[in-house]
Amino acid sequence: MTIREASAEWQGTLKEGSGRLLLGSGVFEGAYSFPSRFENGPGTNPEELIAAAHAGCFSMALSAILGSADHVPVHIRTVAKVHLGATAAGPTITRIELETRADVPGLEPEEFQRLAEAAKTTCLVSRALAGVSNISLKAELIPSAALAEI
């Protein structure tokens, strides 16, 4: 099976230090710090990368499920919002919200909802994040022209 890799470097203390995240493919490298992770400081953070991975995985899973049901999507756009909160165990991903909009000609909204829920359940990243107690999904059919405006 395929192995994916990423690396992180950190220098300094937790609050004053800083680091860099690098994807093994080399297509992304970014700075991260305490402020970028726990406040609204510049840079990226692990949770943002989890959100990107979840949105990408879900979109591909939805495309596969739609295709296997003989529905060809024109366009799928998914946003994942990873909520970082405090628990007795410390900082924790407490919730993930998936919001997807897709243009799938000839598909009824009820069937789209059912297939989107199946994609949420079978998506590799959803399964990897099974420890997150609340992963919600909002799915909406919308023409591609309207997607460009979002």
Reading the block at residue 78, the tokens are 């998914």
Cα separations in angstroms, 122 against 58, 70, 117, 125, 126: 9, 18, 9, 9, 7
Residue recorded with tokens 């099976």: 1
> pTM of the predicted model, to two decimals?
0.90
Question: What's the CA gap between 4 and 19, in Å, rounded?
Answer: 20
Cα separations in angstroms, 53 against 27, 36, 57: 14, 18, 6
pLDDT digits (tens, 9 = 90+) for 4-59: 999 999 999 999 999 999 999 999 999 999 999 999 999 999 999 999 999 999 99
38 within 8 A of 91, measured Cβ to Cβ: yes
